[in-house]
Amino acid sequence: MASCLVLAACGGGGGGGSSTPGDTTTPVTPSNDIGAHMSMSSVTVERDLYRRNQVEKVELALLVDRPPAEGYYYRVTYTKKALNFIGESPRTDSGLDLQVGLSSPGVLGLGSYDDTITVEVCIDSKCATPARGSPFVVPVKLKVGYFAETEAGLPQQVLADAVTLPHDVVAAAYSASLDAVVSVSKAPTAALNLRSLADGQTRSVALASVPTSVALSPDGRRAAVGHDGAVSFVDLVPATPGAAMAVSRFAVSMPVGAVVLDGQGRIYAFGSAPTWAYLHWVDTANGIDKTATANIYSPVRPVLHAAGDRIYFSTRDVSPNDIYNVTLEATGPRDAVDSPYHGDYEICGQVWTSATSSRLYTACGKVFTASSDPSLDMRYAGSFAMSASTSTASFGYAALSISDSLVSNQLVVLEQDKFNCDPRLDMLYACFTRVGTFNATDMALQARASLAPVTVGADRFAQVGRYVFHRVNSKAVLLTELRGAPDAAASIRLSSLP
């Protein structure tokens, strides 16, 4: 049954008429010519797949330029491939607003969905006299795909020299001696990859199983790789130029989530499961897996101090989180020692050492000392400004990667909102990576911008920060990932800050 919209406004006259030669009377507007039309002839909507549970609405209107005094009748019908409701409300100008509800991308999945909205407008209740132009048919196309948005309120970070790597990145590190990014990947195959930043060439060597982590020796010429139940030792500089990188593999009696490689060829392995696990260490000279006395709540992302004599890491998901130091000796690693604080300062994520090796940067913006003197080690030394939370639901921002340079006196921080970027919460459509640059001396903020989406064909992918490194020439390079890219082996971009 058609609905009736009764209007107070007056419009065109009733009954028909005709004119004769010489008659100057203006012809009467036919009663069904009420000037009805739709505000849009078609609707196309793009919705990002990561708006999984977001029911979106679009609005269009039936406009009536010459509404009859006695009102008119209308009926709205629609198909339901992607449309799940249409709300109706009268307009003050005698038209009709339509609120069109679209099913959520999580319900529909990737694809293009075509619907139609049909609006019949009639002068009488039986629709013996349809309004001129009726029925009005509006095609509605909903495209569910990768349509990442740009973060509002911040400038977009300019990146230079962007290239797509031919593999994914599980973990990465920078070798200053080789001026190269060393990464491990699982797609297209399990491998260690060395990308020279000087000439852009990539050398790869196969790994026997999927890697979980990578670490470099202090001289940057050897690498350790973690695996489930093993570690690998890779010589990045073969004795014979052009030869393949040599790989040795050693069994470790636990799933390895992180590794550290010291200058004496010893690999220190940390657990991957969220539980307490003893630190393991393997001397690559004999390949024997030994268990240390240090019992650490994993997972952690440890770093070796430039002196090569101690490891730093911070805990996650314990109360309170803290920073720890493990001293390395010829007989093996000692027990982990925590900072003198107990919840006094927020600590989250992981730690990074400064270029001077005198600072420990933490993911929550707090900075601590790194010293061989136990009385001066892991002492609070200030902070740098993280982004402010944008909603009451936010847990604040956390750093993804931090690097600084003595040459340029620049500190670069990649950060993201902990709430929006938690994949368990279905908020990834609002997860953006921010790039903050600071004065490395006083840690004063200089600029902050957001990584822009990257268009590949018909898709627009969010660009997620993974790593930032400062090269020996002081230029900062970034590894970013295109979130959701179907081909993992084409999802990583290497670029630099101008």
**Which helix (H) or strand (E) element contains residue 295?**
strand 288-297
Query: What is the band of 30 on the pLDDT scale with cuts at 50, 70, 90?
Result: low
- Output the CA–CA distances (angstroms, integers) from residue 148 to 100, 153, 417, 457, in the order listed: 22, 16, 16, 13
Other Cβ atoms closer than 10 A to 260: 27
- How far apart are alpha carbons 391 and 427 in whole angstroms? 13
Residues 463 and 449 sit within 8 Å (Cβ to Cβ): no
- How far apart are alpha carbons 185 and 197 in whole angstroms? 18
Neighbouring-strand partners of residue 439: 410
The closest of 50, 39, 35 to 99, measured between CA atoms, is 39
Q: What are the start-end ranges of the E strands in 298-331?
A: 303-304, 310-314, 323-329
Copy the structure tokens of residue 177: 């001696």
Query: What is the band of 317 on the pLDDT scale with cuts at 50, 70, 90?
Result: confident
Count the helix, strand and coil residues of the chain and give each as a percent rounded to the nearest 5: 5, 50, 50
Copy the structure tokens of residue 144: 């569910």
Fold that domain 156-496 belongs to in CATH = Methylamine Dehydrogenase; Chain H (2.130.10)
Neighbouring-strand partners of residue 290: 281
Identify the three-state secondary structure at position 478: strand
Architecture per CATH, 36-145? Sandwich (2.60)
Residue entry with tokens 């707090």 = 366
- Per residue in 245-299, pLDDT (tens digit) is 999 999 999 999 999 999 999 999 999 999 999 999 999 999 999 999 999 999 9
Say if residue 19's pLDDT is above 50. Answer: no
- Whole-number pLDDT of residue 4: 65
- Whole-number pLDDT of residue 292: 96
Residue 58 — φ and ψ, nearest 5°? -125, 160
Sheet holding 3-5, edge to edge: 3-5, 72-78, 111-122, 136-145, 43-48
The amino acid present at 71, given as its one-letter code, is G
| Residues 26-38, mean pLDDT to the nearest whole number | 76
Q: What are the start-end ranges of the E strands in 15-170?
A: 36-38, 43-48, 56-64, 72-78, 83-90, 96-102, 111-122, 136-145, 160-164
- How far apart are alpha carbons 203 and 162 in whole angstroms? 19
| Residues 39-65, mean pLDDT to the nearest whole number | 93
* Domain layout of the chain by residue ranges: 36-145, 156-496
Among the residue ranges 27-31, 339-343, 468-472, 474-478, the one predicted with the least confidence is 27-31
| Residues 182-196, mean pLDDT to the nearest whole number | 98
- How far apart are alpha carbons 413 and 16 in whole angstroms? 75
